[in-house]
Amino acid sequence: MTKQNTEQQFRDVIRECRTLFENKLHDYSASWRILRPSSLTDQLFIKAKRIRSLEIKKESLVGEGIRPEFIGLINYGIIGLIQLDKGYVDEVDVSNAEALELYDKFSQVALELMIKKNHDYDEAWRSMRVSSYTDFILTKIQRIKEIEDINGATLVSEGIDANYMDIINYAVFGVIKLSE
């Protein structure tokens, strides 16, 4: 698989995620604007924990599989980047069109980072297990919790935004691998 194909696969996954995001905007507007950082972190956590649980149990009683949860992680990761940029509010303050513009802006930033990292790591993600993506995502979420607990006063670590970006990218890789 060439790096160009990886970029196209990434774009295809984001397009699928964006369609779901847009449909949910229709149903709920940008209700996620109300989420405080810790609540968003917990939402990411429950999605990643569900993936891990399904990987271990190999059975879903709800009937939804792992792939939709990775898609949820992508969308909530992008929402996280938006919330970091704009802050949270008590009432929805963006139109659906504005929310989609923000989604496109931050998904493009995630794509650009993936392209750079994919160059440096030379497609290593393709040889990894999907369960490793899950564990790395859970680790990133734990790091976000720790950074939130110290009010962002890190000494040497990347910030919350970098962790969101990694969550998005690992989740995209998961969707790709589960689709192949």
Tens of each residue's pLDDT in the chain, 180 residues: 555 598 899 999 999 999 999 999 999 999 999 999 999 999 999 999 999 999 998 876 676 789 999 999 999 999 999 999 999 999 999 999 999 999 999 999 999 999 899 888 888 999 999 999 999 999 999 999 999 999 888 888 889 999 999 999 999 999 999 998
Running DSSP on this structure, what letter comes out for residue 123? T
pLDDT at 64: 76
Running DSSP on this structure, what letter comes out for residue 90? S
The position carrying tokens 């497609």 is 123
CA distance 53 to 59: 9
pLDDT at 105: 97
pLDDT at 65: 87
Taking the chain, what is the end-to-end CA distance rounded to the nearest angstrom?
A: 12
pLDDT at 3: 56
How many Cβ atoms are within 10 Å of 76's Cβ, its own excluded?
24
The position carrying tokens 């696969």 is 9
The position carrying tokens 């847009």 is 22
Q: Is the CB of residue 87 less than 8 Å from the CB of residue 79? A: no
Task: For residue 95, give every residue at least 6 positions away whose Cβ sits within 8 Å of its Cβ, in sequence order, or none.
Answer: 30
pLDDT at 154: 85
Q: Is the CB of residue 179 less than 8 Å from the CB of residue 67? A: yes
CA distance 150 to 51: 28
Q: How far from 155 is each of 46, 48, 76, 126, 138, CA to CA, in Å?
A: 28, 27, 26, 32, 22
pLDDT at 68: 95
Please list the helix, strand and coil fractions of the chain in percent, rounded to the nearest 5, in that order.
80, 0, 20
User: Could you tell me which of 159, 164, 33, 7 has the C-alpha nearest to residue 99?
Assistant: 33
